[in-house]
Amino acid sequence: MSVVIDSAINITRKNVDARYKLRNKAPFNGTGRDAHSTRFAQDLHKICTRFAQDLHKICTRFTEDKEC
């Protein structure tokens, strides 16, 4: 199970790193905020939400397979 979780964490980290690099290359939009900063925050929220949902599914399946 830890291999699956480690893999999910690595994929999430790569997605976040790619978005962060894109954000740093973006031009300013004149408001003092990066043009992609809001989009970056939304994407990061989606990635984290999906990760949490997937992790919950994995943990639920893992605990269902175990006999108490």
pLDDT digits (tens, 9 = 90+) for 11-66: 767 766 666 665 555 555 555 555 556 777 777 788 888 888 888 888 888 777 66
Which tokens in the block code for residue 61? 């399946």
DSSP class of residue 28? Answer: B
Task: Name the residue among 4, 2, 34 with its Cα closest to residue 19.
Answer: 34
* Rounded-to-integer distance, Cα 26 and Cα 43, Å: 15
| pTM confidence score | 0.44
What 3-state DSSP class applies to 35?
coil
